[in-house]
Structure 1
Amino acid sequence: MAGSLDGRVLSPVADQAPGQVGTRTRFVYHEEEGRIWAEYEGGDVVHGRLVGTREGDRLDFRYVQLKTDGGTSSGHCLSTVVELPDGRLRLEESWSWESRDGSGTSVVEELR
């Protein structure tokens, strides 16, 4: 199993569609006894939160965010935690909006 997410800061490796998280978004993760949560902001996101669980290298969480235009969005994400050769963590994600149409994949990596 890859290392703990607790206290790690991750960011997407590529921009998503406008109004979503992007390379300027920063996620600060917390982990305790199989529970995960994070705060995130940056780019088009003023404030975001996610909460969920971790079993082995699989994360299952829901997220909600406030955007710069005042709109809110929420969704569900399943992620796989991968440890990179240099010890940083990567999340390979499959997500879907619950508050609107749309789904996709993304990759976020721990910042150096």
Structure 2
Amino acid sequence: MACSLDGLVLTPVADQAPGQVGTRTRFTYHEKDGEIWAEYTGGDVVRGYLVGTRDGDRLDFRYVQLKRDGTTSSGHCVSTVAELPDGRVRLDETWEWESQDGSGTSVVEQVTEHAR
């Protein structure tokens, strides 16, 4: 199993559609005894939360967010945890909105101290 996500800050490597998470969004992850959760903010997202479970290198969680335009949205995501050659963590994500139409894939990677 890859290293713990607890205390790591990750960010998407590419922007999604307008009004969604993007390269300016920062996720702060927490992990304990198979539970994972995170807070996120940045870009079009004022405040977001995710909560779920980790089994080996697989994350399964729900997310909910408040956007700058005052709307909320929620969905489900399954991610695979991987370690990059430089030791940082990468999540390969497959997600689907539950509050609106849409689904896709994305990649988030650990932010180094100097990039925060």
Q: Distance in 2 between matches of 1:85 and 1:54?
A: 22
Structure 1-normalised TM-score? 1.00
Match of 2:2 in 1: 2
Match of 1:19 in 2: 19
Unmatched tracts of structure 2, length 5 or more: none
Q: Distance in 2 between matches of 1:14 and 1:64?
A: 20
Match of 1:56 in 2: 56
Question: Does structure 1 residue 32 correspond to structure 2 residue 32?
Answer: yes
Match of 1:66 in 2: 66
Q: Give % identity.
A: 79
Structure 2-normalised TM-score? 0.96
Deviation at 1:6, TM superposition (A): 0.1
Match of 2:93 in 1: 93
Which letter maps to 2:63?
A: Y
Q: Distance in 2 between matches of 1:83 and 1:55?
A: 16
Pairwise CA RMSD: 0.3
Which letter maps to 2:107?
A: V
Deviation at 1:86, TM superposition (A): 1.0
Q: Distance in 2 between matches of 1:33 and 1:42?
A: 28
The size of the alignment, in residue pairs, is: 112
Which letter maps to 1:64?
A: V
